[in-house]
Chains A and B, each alone.
Chain A
Amino acid sequence: MENLISSKNIIKSFGMGIEKRNILDGISVDIHQGEFVSVMGPSGSGKSTLLYALSGMDHVDSGQVTFQGEDLSALKETRLADLRRTKMGFIFQQPTLLRNLSILDNIMLPTLRDGRKNIAALTKKAKMLMEKTGVAGLENRDITQASGGQLQRVGICRALMGDPKIIFGDEPTGALNSTAAVEIMSLLAEIHRTGVTILLVTHDIKVAAKTARVLFILDGRIAGEKLPGVYNETQDNLKAREEELTTWLAGMHF
């Protein structure tokens, strides 16, 4: 499989002087086109930091991250912004929507920056995505007039608007109840089936069990990697996958 993102020996530290600590301590990892990857690890292990580093949202102190062969650390801020807008999609734990905008405007915001001329087509696409994700009818609502699960779907719609190559998710189900979390994961699986690469950070075994590749991070390093393979809802036993993952993680003292 083609390499989409590749990191070589990336180091990122926080703090100063004796309090200085490497939150990423020489991570090298490849994310391939079409993969469904989750990153697990205890709190403070560097999972989210890795996600921000791989997506170019955060600079690394040393090492290299390439996206489709382009060295992210060498790119200018505008090029990075272009990449995020046209090739990447993001879903966060909280919906991260702008309060001043309606739900439809929030979804369309990234694409409207340079797609104002195709506004009709973009509106159509946004409505189609809302239909697909089950939030149709909320278009003109204020973000305070929707539930957490609904807002997270809205966030997914926004992430999909630019037809991204990859979607980064930072605990996308972390703030949701279990039913809503299951629904969101099904949605992500569906998106993955269309060929979009997905990289999630999670501490939830149920979420990780549905991904094809699990990375375990401890103290800023990749302590282990497991490849359960692509999860098929109709054929695979989710319970068994979860148990297998639990046993594996226990072996890593998680």
Chain B
Amino acid sequence: MYYRVIRRDIKKSKTITLAITLFVTAASLLVALAAILIVNLTGAIDTLMIQSKTPHLTQMHAGEVDHVRLSAFAEQNKAVEDFQVVEFLNVDGGLFDFSNGSLSGSVKDNGLSVQSEKFDFLLDLNGEVITVSEGEIYVPLTYLQSGIARVGGTVAVAGKTFIIAGPLRDSQMQPLLSSSKRFLVNRNDFETLKQFGRLEYLIEFRLHDLADLGAFQAAYTKAGLESNGPTLTYPLFRMFNALSDGLMIAVILMISVLVIVIAFLCIRFTLLARIEDDYREIGVMKALGLRVADIKKIYLTKYLALAAAGSLFGYGLSFVFRDTLLANIRLYMGESENRSLAMLLGILGVFLVFLTIGIYVNSVLGRFRNISPAQAIRFGISAGKAGGAKHLCLNKNRLISTNVFLGIKDVLARRGLYVTMLTVMVLAVFIIVVPKNLHNTISSKSFITYMGVGESDFRIDIQQTDHIAAKAQEIATAMEKDTAFSRFVVLTTKTFQVKTEEGPEELIKVELGDPSIFPLTYIQGHAPTSENEIALSVLNSKELGKKTGDVLTLIINNNPVLFTICGIYSDVTHGGKSAKAVFSAPSGEIMWSVITAELSDPTLVAGKVAEYTGRFPYAKVSDIDEFILQTYGGTIRAIGKAVYIATGIALTITLLITLLFMRMLVAKDRYSIAVMKAFGFTNSDIRIQYAARSIFILALGLLIGTLLAQTLGGMLAGAVIASFGAASFKLIINPVSVYLLCPLIMTVVVLAATIIGTQHTGRITISENIKE
């Protein structure tokens, strides 16, 4: 019997059945893909890191290295399994000359390396350790993907021509967030080119047990060994490698949740309409003594059948799409070894979707309990359904056209019915506006303030070189004389030891210089103004457990000096851990210097970048826009893409749901439409009424959606940014796109869907729908 009921039901409502099945299919597809991707990503990262034997700790260092002292430390420390010092020849981007351009615009530190002997191997696409011949070069995958390099082509490095033998996988430096990129050459070529770059060292350790990493890191710091450069650890490499594909998985999961919610809304609407239609029959069945569970089964069976079909279909489809989505992971990291686990988790995910739908349908059907058989049989309708919005009287309306009034009144009178559509519109607005706001914020110039730097036009980085202070001074002197600059400041970052009450002393990077020239927005407190004040970045304040007003002790010239914490600011650069102060200290090791400047005529920036790059080859000079783009370019582009995708998805969903909803509504309202037509309302009158309903709901949706996007969406976006080290995060809204374009495009879509969806009103004949 169930089979017959289902067949009859599906035949009666083909469109909606198809729509629900499609939504379940999409949800299952996405969940299955997300599961497969998660397993493959973690598996592939493991494969990559095992194959390349990624170091457990890498200390980057610019300057001399005392090999004997380092070896002695490694030998004495029981945790160390293996140790090596890898050379990295930092070559200016401009010296990499590909046939279709150089890397001069790159803010990454591009450099040459030779293959390691013990671990930290650079791999080819088969996961094999590359052996490179003279005259050959292996290029980071990203440059082959961006199209600047091609296998078989050539690249001249500082005038020496190499044949590009292939791409390389680099478990340490290939993630987008890594600031350096390694090219692999033969030892002889490396030696030849040594004079054209600055030699830096990667001091690398493998430990017997990764659990000892924290203690080992502390021991290394305490030993006062080479540390002029960032320290990176195995978990950090893992996270960096997971980040970009991890974000994709997060987005897929978010979309699948959205699709499931929409499927729920569709199911709810059709189910409620169906229950209303069958009200009398349900009453009769109850009167005849059928149990609620028996009646529920009839309806539940249909939806379970649809959910099962959708789930299976979705899982099947995931096999078609997974290779495309896995391509990036496979290319950068190789195969995962957990194939069967991926399949299993995919099935589990799909089953979860199926189960959720079953539980949801069952809960909606719970209202069968409230149907009184007597009332259902006598009246055929549920009690107390009419009415609502009683205060809105047509005979008192002088302002708006009768059709528009009737449309709005219907929405207010049957609020429950329209909740579905409103929810979809709120969601659509939300998923258009939030990524848009995020994109706008990240790509705006003032986003730099979250990077712990004031707003400026121009930036010079002097790092990983010797005599940093003198070099910075040299540039500053030149800038002093240059009238093109309206203001500039030299900020020097030094490391100091922090005295903590318990445990080992930690190192903290403090940026010294006048913070008032390019002021920063502080989350709490203010910039340091006197010598005994210090401001901390969010992550540092968290890690040290300090807030404004607290006291921090630094060791300066071997003496403890007390500082009052005057402010907390966001910083998403350098791992988010920094501090700012104005005291002068001859001691403390200089990490780097940054000169930020503003030009009196901002159009001169490009010229000045070229000029200063030429004059001071040891410094990295960049236009601030370009600096942001290079640092966050990938993220900005990814979010930009997400904006398009989210907008596309949101508009498609709005179109589909409005269309479906209008068709269902017209079918449900046949009687009222026939009555109105009998009394002289034209088809276009009726369609205007429906358009008024959709526009009214859209207006509400836009209002709620935009408000939510501003509040909840702001918090969400804030959480994303906060994970990088910015605490308070203010969305920068582009009013034209958020308050004008988004509503406009939504209106066009909703109106189009309404017009198409209500086409059938013309076919509703009075005689068939009104005749007794």
Please name all residues of chain A whose beta carbon is closer than 8 Å to the beta carbon of B766 when the two chains form the complex: 52, 57-58
Given A104-B395, A144-B386, verify A86-B680 contact (CB < 8 Å): yes
Q: Is A198 an interface residue (CB 8 A)?
A: no
The answer on a CB contact under 8 Å between A110 and B393 is no
- In chain A between 94 and 111, which residues have their CB closer than 8 angstroms to a CB of chain B? 94, 96-102, 104-105, 108-110
Tell yes or no: A143 within 8 A of B by CB. yes
Asked if B402 is at the interface (CB within 8 A of a chain A CB), the reply is yes
Q: Please tell me if B398 contacts chain A, counting CB pairs below 8 Å.
A: yes
- Among B395, B401, B403, B675, the residue within 8 A (CB) of A105 is B395
B397 close to chain A: CB less than 8 A? yes
User: Across the interface, do B395 and A96 meet the contact criterion of CB distance under 8 Å?
Assistant: no
A171 touches B681 (CB 8 A): no
Q: Report Cα–Cα, A158/B770, bound state, in Å.
A: 16
> Is B715 an interface residue, CB under 8 A from the partner?
no
Across-interface contacts of B680 in A (CB, < 8 A): 81-86, 110, 113, 162
Report the interface size for chain A: residues with CB under 8 A from the other chain.
Answer: 46
Contact B395 A123 (CB under 8 A): yes
Cα A57 to Cα B679 with chains together (Å): 10
Which of chain A's residues has its CB closest to B414's CB?
A: A100
- Residues of B contacting A116 with CB < 8 Å? 397-398, 401-402
Cβ–Cβ contact A101 & B681, under 8 A: no
The stretch that binds A, out of B141-149, B648-656, B682-690, is B682-690
Q: Is the CB of B678 within 8 A of A100?
A: no
The residue that B678 contacts in the complex, of A48, A49, A84, with Cβ under 8 A, is A84
Contacts of A119 in B (CB 8 A): 395, 397-398
Q: For the complex, give the distance between the alpha carbons of A158 and B676 in Å.
A: 12
Within 8 A of B (CB), among A3-59: 48-49, 52, 57-58
**Interface residues on chain B, size class:** 35 or more
**Residues on the A chain within 8 Å of B767, using CB:** 48-49, 52, 57-58
Neighbouring A residues of B681 by C-beta, 8 Å: 81, 85, 110, 113
Q: Is B409 an interface residue (CB 8 A)?
A: yes
Q: A52-B771, A77-B762, A116-B397 in contact; A98/B675 too (CB < 8 A)? A: yes
| Chain B positions 658 through 677: 1 when the CB is less than 8 Å from some CB of chain A, otherwise 0 | 00000000000000100111
Q: CB of A142 within 8 A of chain B?
A: yes
The chain B residue with its CB closest to the CB of A84 is B680
Q: In the bound complex, how far is the Cα of B413 from the Cα of A94, in angstroms?
A: 23
Name the residue on B nearest A112 (C-beta).
Answer: B402
Which residues, 736 to 772 on B, are CB-close (under 8 Å) to A?
762, 765-767, 770-772
Complex-state Cα separation, A112 to B681, whole angstroms:
10
How near does chain B come to A223, taking the closest CB pair, in angstroms?
Answer: 22
CA distance A46 to B682 in the complex (A): 26
Q: State A193–B770 Cα separation when bound (angstroms).
A: 28
A179: Cβ under 8 A from any B Cβ: no
A229 within 8 Å of B by Cβ?
no
Min distance, Cβ B307 to any Cβ of chain A, angstroms: 34
A177 contacts B by Cβ under 8 Å: no
Q: Do A170 and B765 form a contact, CB below 8 Å, given A100-B413, A112-B402, A143-B386?
A: no
Q: Is the CB of A96 within 8 A of B394?
A: no
Q: A88 to nearest B CB, angstroms? A: 8
Q: Number of residue pairs across A and B with beta carbons under 8 Å?
A: 113
- Taking the closest CB of chain A, its distance from the CB of B270, in whole angstroms, is 21
B residues within 8 A CB of A67? none
Interface membership of A216, Cβ < 8 A: no
Choose from A58, A78, A108 the contact partner of B394 (Cβ within 8 Å): A108
User: A57 CA to B676 CA in the complex, in Å?
Assistant: 12
Please, how many angstroms separate the alpha-carbon atoms of A210 and B401 in the complex? 42
CB of A58, distance to nearest CB on chain B (Å): 4
B689 CB to closest chain A CB (Å) equals 11
* B394 in contact with A109 (CB, 8 Å): yes
Is there a chain A Cβ closer than 8 Å to B410's Cβ? yes
Chain A, 145-195, CB within 8 A of any chain B CB: 158, 162, 170-171, 174-175
Residues of A within 8 A of B683 (CB): 77
Q: How far is the CB of A177 from chain B (nearest CB, A)?
A: 17
Q: How far is the CA of A84 from the CA of B354 in the complex (A)?
A: 52
Structural contact, A112 and B765, CB atoms closer than 8 A: no
Q: How far is B395's CA from A83's CA once the two chains are assembled, in angstroms? A: 23
Provide the bound-state CA to CA distance between A196 and B574, in Å: 90
Most buried by A among B681, B683, B771: B771
Contact with A along B382-410 (1 / 0, CB 8 A): 00011111100111011001110000011
A58: B residues at CB distance < 8 A: 765-767
Docked complex: B358-394 residues within 8 A CB-CB of A: 385-390, 393-394
CA of A90 to CA of B770, assembled, Å: 11
Q: How far is the CB of A44 from chain B (nearest CB, A)?
A: 12
CB of A133 within 8 Å of the partner chain: no
* Distance (whole angstroms) from the CB of B666 to the closest CB of chain A: 15
Contact B394 A105 (CB under 8 A): yes
Contacts of B409 in A (CB 8 A): 100-101
Q: How far is the CA of A108 from the CA of B393 in the complex (A)?
A: 11
Partner of A110, one of B386, B679, B770, B771: B679
Distance of A237 Cα from B626 Cα, bound (Å): 103
Cross-chain contact B386 with A85 (CB below 8 angstroms): no
The answer to whether A108 and B682 touch across the interface, beta carbons within 8 angstroms, is no
Asked if A248 lies at the interface with its beta carbon under 8 angstroms from chain B, I say: no
| Assembled-state Cα–Cα distance A174/B676 (Å) | 22
Q: Once the chains bind, are B678 and A90 in contact (CB under 8 Å)?
A: yes
Question: Does A93 belong to the interface (CB within 8 Å)?
Answer: yes
Kindly list chain A residues whose C-beta atoms are within 8 Å of the C-beta of B385: 99
Q: What's the least CB distance linking B614 to chain A, in Å? A: 76
Please state if A100 and B410 are interface contacts (CB–CB under 8 Å).
yes
Contact with B along A125-153 (1 / 0, CB 8 A): 01000000000000010111000000000
Name the distance in Å between A196's Cβ and chain B's nearest Cβ. 16
State the Cβ distance, B736 to closest chain A Cβ, in Å.
Answer: 37
- Known contacts: A82-B680, A102-B390, A144-B386. The answer to whether A170 contacts B771 by CB under 8 A is yes
CB distance from A1 to the nearest CB of B (A): 26
Chain A minimum-CB-distance residue to B403: A113
A145 to chain B, nearest CB (A): 10
Q: What residue of chain B has the Cβ atom nearest to residue A78's Cβ?
A: B682
Q: In the complex, which residues of chain B have a beta carbon less than 8 angstroms from the beta carbon of A142?
A: 386-387, 390
**List of B residues within 8 angstroms of A94 by Cβ:** 772
Give residues 406-444 of B contacting A (CB, 8 Å): 409-410, 413-414
Q: Which residues of A contact B403 (CB under 8 A)?
A: 113
Q: How far is the CA of A101 from the CA of B762 in the complex (A)?
A: 23
CB of A178 to closest CB in B, whole Å? 19
CB nearest to B385 among chain A residues: A99
How far, in angstroms, from A55 to B676 measured CA to CA in the complex? 15
Say yes or no for A92: interface residue by CB 8 A criterion: yes
- Chain B nearest CB, measured from A60 CB (Å): 11
Residues of A within 8 A of B676 (CB): 98, 109
CA distance A201 to B417 in the complex (A): 37
CA separation between A58 and B770, bound complex, in Å? 12
- Give chain B nearest CB distance to A115 CB in angstroms: 9
- A144–B770 Cα distance when bound, in Å, is 19
- Determine whether the beta carbon of A90 is less than 8 Å from that of B679: yes
Q: How far is the CA of A78 from the CA of B410 in the complex (A)?
A: 23
CB contacts (< 8 Å) of A48 on chain B: these are 767, 771-772
Shortest CB-to-CB span from A230 to chain B, Å, is 28
List the A residue with the shortest CB-CB distance to B671: A96
Question: Considering the complex of A and B, which 3 residue pairs feature the smallest CB-CB distances, nearest first?
Answer: A85-B680, A105-B394, A110-B679
- The contact sample of 29 A-B pairs, CB cut-off 8 A, is A48-B767, A48-B772, A52-B771, A57-B765, A57-B767, A82-B680, A83-B680, A84-B678, A84-B679, A92-B772, A96-B770, A97-B675, A98-B675, A100-B387, A100-B410, A102-B393, A102-B395, A105-B395, A109-B676, A109-B679, A110-B681, A112-B394, A126-B395, A140-B393, A142-B390, A143-B386, A144-B387, A174-B772, A175-B772
Chain B residues within 8 Å of A, Cβ to Cβ: 385-390, 393-395, 397-398, 401-403, 409-410, 413-414, 672, 675-685, 762, 765-767, 770-772
- List A residues at the B interface (Cβ < 8 Å): 48-49, 52, 57-58, 77-78, 81-86, 90, 92-94, 96-102, 104-105, 108-110, 112-113, 116, 119, 122-123, 126, 140, 142-144, 158, 162, 170-171, 174-175
